[in-house]
Chain A
Amino acid sequence: MNAVSSAPIELEAELEAARRVTPPTAATATSTARRRGPWLTPQLTLPVLAICLVPAVWAFIAETGMFGNAVVGPVETAKEIHSHWDVLWLNAKPTLEATLIGVAVLLVIIAGGAVVVALVPRVTAGLAALSIVLGTLPLIVLTPMLSLVTERGRNLVAEVCVLAGLVPVAATLSGMARIGERGREDLGAVYGTSRLRWWRFVGFWQTVPILDIGIRAMIPSCFVGSIVAEWSGASTSRGLGQVMTNAMFSYQPPLLWATLTIAAIGSLGLLALATLIMYPLTRRVR
């Protein structure tokens, strides 16, 4: 169908002139960002710079000797990791395994929870309350209690890990329920869209940024949960938490720092994995 022929020439001319106006600056900015490539964004470069800054600050503090020999610098720590790699890896493996199991369980909970919040957004209030309740539970007390019903070992560590990750997960689902519904009362109502259809085409995509943040917050919580579980006796003999406790009580600061560094690297690795998993989604909604 063409524009109505009876429209006066002035109207068409005016419209043509308006269309010839300089293209929007946003487009120019976007094309510049595209030329720079996806990796050189402030969202990525700033955290990387901050992570690089940590060893520098750490080395500086160790060099000043303000905490005596309790703080071991990054170079000595690297040497300690190198010399005790077998022991450290042997202990890091069960912690990582338990954390990965916990993360996998939580991802399933998120997926199931997303369907629930899509169908019953009223659960938002309940989820917010749940996240507060879970946040107030002291994990260190939960572990001995759970050990009464679950055999000590990897499964118990994974259970505590799941409990630790549930706080950000509940908060994320609560946020998803609220954000996913945005616009449904207007646009969704005009087209008589069902909840699931709305969720599929609009709601889910609206929640991707909060989902991304939630998963990033969940993973370090899981790692901390696993280590705290091991401190409080959830593991039988091995685990990074166990090594930390032993190193602390036998006063071996280099081994303690080596364990801490392994834990930090493990956590960063999981974070990178989560970022990679979420990248196709976050890239699409950016």
Chain B
Amino acid sequence: MRGDTPATTAATANASATPAGTPGSSASTLADRDNGELRIDRVSYEYGGGRHPVVAAVDAVDFRLPAGRLGALVGPSGCGKSTLLRLAAGLFEPTKGRISFGSTSPAELRKRRRVGFAFQDPALLAWRSVRHNVELPFDLAALPTDRAWIEELLAIVGLTEWADRRPRELSGGMRQRVSLARALATKPDLLLLDEPFGALDEITRSELNLELLRILSATGTTCLLVTHSVDEAVLLADRVVVLSNRPCAVRLVYDVPEARERRGASRDTIEFLDHCRTVRAALAG
């Protein structure tokens, strides 16, 4: 499934070294995934300066996310979660500390088109069909379109029948699925999701949570998710990072036991509620 585009060529060189049994190892996975751990090493970020006051947004945040796993960032509104996500995408440079993904930096990873980003607002282009919206990253990154993968992606997100429709013809949940597919279009090593389900109703949100788990299981992509919902974080993530108020610092890094096996069937179990309670307690400080 990977390595079809020029940008992925280098990454596929050592694909055979991928250990069997890891997420996504059923397909030819990336070399970078061997050691594709996302490392956030005491990262701080300040913005402003000059005529504007310097504002500290992120303060010595330190955590790791193993390859092929899903991490969730939970914290109060405006604490700097999205800034942290942009730092992980290489869109901002840390003021202090270092971010790496495997042996490479996020900026380098982004240059190689190996980062996928889904925003809270799906921001689909009204003049493009669903299929062409999913193909957009290829156009923007000046890469040849991998049509077979696009069709596969549309099937993964369950939108094959809607592929020729325009975004206005879709429901909110379907739009978010298109946005997810678009973020996965260039087969990223690192998928960053900035509250992608924040604007959706509870039913659609639950449906998309399951959808996301299924997609990530299918693609084996390392994913960092920003969410306001503790339930969502515990349900989806292998590792939940609880952040404090601005400037955000890590309050708790919580590894959710048996997260991969749990899937969507255990929201009402005592264990699940216990995990949520732990995370909520850390969030409350």
List the A side residues contacting B127 at CB < 8 Å.
Answer: 205, 208, 284-285
Contact among A12, A26, A183, A205 for B170, CB-based, below 8 A = A26
Among residues 1 to 23 in chain A, which have CB atoms less than 8 Å away from a CB atom of chain B? 1-4, 6-8, 10-12, 14-15, 18-19, 23
A192 within 8 A of B: yes
CA distance A10 to B265 in the complex (A): 7
A-B contact count (CB 8 A): 106
Interface hit among B8-16, B109-117, B222-230, B277-285: B109-117
B262 and chain A: residue at smallest CB distance: A8
List the B side residues contacting A192 at CB < 8 Å.
Answer: 110-111, 113, 141
Q: A11 near B89 (CB under 8 angstroms)?
A: no
Q: B126 near A286 (CB under 8 angstroms)?
A: yes
Q: A190 near B91 (CB under 8 angstroms)?
A: yes
CB distance from A146 to the nearest CB of B (A): 41
B163 within 8 A of A: no
Range, interface on chain A: 35 or more
List the A side residues contacting B170 at CB < 8 Å.
Answer: 24, 26-27
Contact among A1, A26, A190, A205 for B125, CB-based, below 8 A = A205
A200 and chain B: residue at smallest CB distance: B139
CA distance A110 to B257 in the complex (A): 60
Proximity string of chain B (15-42) to chain A, C-beta cutoff 8 Å, 1 when within and 0 when not:
0000000000011000000000000000
CA distance A191 to B136 in the complex (A): 10
Q: B171 near A191 (CB under 8 angstroms)?
A: no
B274 within 8 A of A: no
Q: B137 near A191 (CB under 8 angstroms)?
A: yes
Known: A1-B1, A7-B214, A10-B265. A187 touches B165 (CB 8 A): no
List the B side residues contacting A27 at CB < 8 Å.
Answer: 165, 169-170
List the B side residues contacting A198 at CB < 8 Å.
Answer: 140
A12 and chain B: residue at smallest CB distance: B214
Q: B26 near A30 (CB under 8 angstroms)?
A: no
CB distance from A76 to the nearest CB of B (A): 48
Q: B152 near A11 (CB under 8 angstroms)?
A: no
Q: A7 near B169 (CB under 8 angstroms)?
A: no
Proximity string of chain B (108-134) to chain A, C-beta cutoff 8 Å, 1 when within and 0 when not:
001101011101000101110000000
CB distance from A190 to the nearest CB of B (A): 5
Most chain B CB within 10 A, of A187, A188, A191, A201, is at A191
CA distance A261 to B3 in the complex (A): 67
Q: A18 near B126 (CB under 8 angstroms)?
A: no
Q: A26 near B140 (CB under 8 angstroms)?
A: no
CB distance from B29 to the nearest CB of A (A): 11
CA distance A205 to B6 in the complex (A): 28
List the B side residues contacting A24 at CB < 8 Å.
Answer: 169-171, 174
CA distance A135 to B67 in the complex (A): 60
Known: A1-B27, A11-B213. A186 touches B140 (CB 8 A): no
Known: A1-B27, A4-B26, A15-B211. A10 touches B140 (CB 8 A): no
Q: A8 near B158 (CB under 8 angstroms)?
A: no
CB distance from B106 to the nearest CB of A (A): 11
A28 and chain B: residue at smallest CB distance: B169
* Interface SS of A by simple majority: helix
Known: A1-B27, A3-B214, A15-B207. A191 touches B113 (CB 8 A): yes
B60 within 8 A of A: no
CB distance from A270 to the nearest CB of B (A): 26
Contact among A7, A26, A189, A208 for B171, CB-based, below 8 A = A26
CB distance from B279 to the nearest CB of A (A): 23
List the B side residues contacting A191 at CB < 8 Å.
Answer: 113, 137, 140-141, 186
Among residues 65 to 95 in chain A, which have CB atoms less than 8 Å away from a CB atom of chain B? none
A202 within 8 A of B: yes
CA distance A193 to B174 in the complex (A): 26
Contact among B116, B119, B217 for A186, CB-based, below 8 A = B119
List the B side residues contacting A189 at CB < 8 Å.
Answer: 91
List the A side residues contacting B199 at CB < 8 Å.
Answer: none
A197 within 8 A of B: yes
Q: B140 near A197 (CB under 8 angstroms)?
A: yes
List the A side residues contacting B252 at CB < 8 Å.
Answer: none
Known: A4-B217, A285-B126. A11 touches B140 (CB 8 A): no
Enumerate the 8 nearest inter-chain pairs by beta-carbon distance, A residue then B residue, closest first: A24-B171, A4-B217, A191-B140, A18-B207, A191-B141, A27-B169, A193-B140, A285-B127
Question: What are 14 A-B contacts defined by CB distance under 8 Å?
Answer: A1-B219, A4-B217, A6-B217, A10-B265, A11-B210, A11-B213, A11-B263, A14-B207, A15-B211, A18-B210, A27-B165, A188-B140, A191-B140, A286-B126
